[in-house]
A and B are shown apart, each in its own frame.
Chain A
Amino acid sequence: MRRFPIALLLFVIMLPGCATMTAKQAHSPYRIAADGDIVWRGEYRFSPPPKPWLLVSLDEGDTAFAYLKVVSGEPLCQSTFAYSEEPFGVSRNLRQRMKEFYRRFLWAGRVTFDPPRTRPVTVFGREALEATSLGRDPARGEKVWTKVILARRGERLVAFFMTQWQPTNGTFDRDEEKIFQRFIDSFRFLKPSFYQTL
């Protein structure tokens, strides 16, 4: 017989696009290993990209960390790549989640994406899904190249994603994708996730 369930009651304010932030930790969430790898909270280990890539986002919202590269010029161009433990969307199906992800990706901009091109890949020895899409912001005269990889960690999905902004008539630097791929290839989980321990 089914028991009476536990109730979880949420008091909510319905404001679209309301970002949530978690408090920043007083201590650095990472340490640098002897070989130069970054060990993040004892959870992951990865090789950082070479300079001038900078570690910029420290555990804000659902993105554990991100790297940023700024290229001088007019307009100022920037590239980012990030690892997210809780990527946009809810589905645990790779294709469905990718659709959900792109629905929210760069939501604060006025970017219109081409339909993402997807291909199955393998990450952490398991099935994963890669998508690429070109976004355009005609109001600012910019375009953005995006690559998203959804991978599995236990039952849940995690994401690696990169953006590269350029003026509409600019040329994308394909070498940055190689740096992004090297970062993913170097990425290792050091212990089971919180969700795997439940």
Chain B
Amino acid sequence: MEGHQRNLYLYDRFNARVAGVSRDDVTTLQYFAAKLGVTFPLLSNVSGYLGLDFGALAPGRPFFSRRTVIIDRKGVIRYARDGSPDFHEILTVLKKLHEEEDGP
């Protein structure tokens, strides 16, 4: 989360918006946001349907696996990776998508 917060100025430069999704309740997320200094939205999805839709919730598991998904402005998933975020890779993809936006 800290890495994403650190990169917010670059996400903004590439016209990207970031949100975290967790199965924790709103009160817990408010606590984490305050403790970690996170200013981007953290979405509470207790029922877990978003995790199912995006492949981050394995059957029988109580919480999401770590997954990063990039969705372009047309709603198409352009990037999905499990595990710890690879910030260089994420920023490279965002830069490419932004250049596509500005293209002919």
Contact = CB atoms under 8 A, between A and B. Distances in A.
B29 A14 contact: yes
A6 B17 contact: yes
Interface in B12-68: 13-22, 24, 28-29, 32, 35, 37, 42, 50-51, 54, 56, 63-68
A90 B37 CA distance: 9
Interface string B4-15: 111001110111
Interface string B62-104: 0111111111110000000000110010110011011001000
Given A16-B35, A90-B2, A90-B5, A10 B21 contact: yes
Interface in A1-36: 3-14, 16, 20-22
Contacts of A88: 2
Interface of B is mostly: mixed
B91 A198 contact: yes
Given A6-B94, A6-B97, A90-B37, A13 B22 contact: yes
B51 A7 contact: no
Interface residues of A, number: 27
A107 interface: no
B64 A7 contact: no
A10 B88 contact: no
**Interface core residue of A6, A10, A11, A13 (most chain B CB under 10 Å):** A11
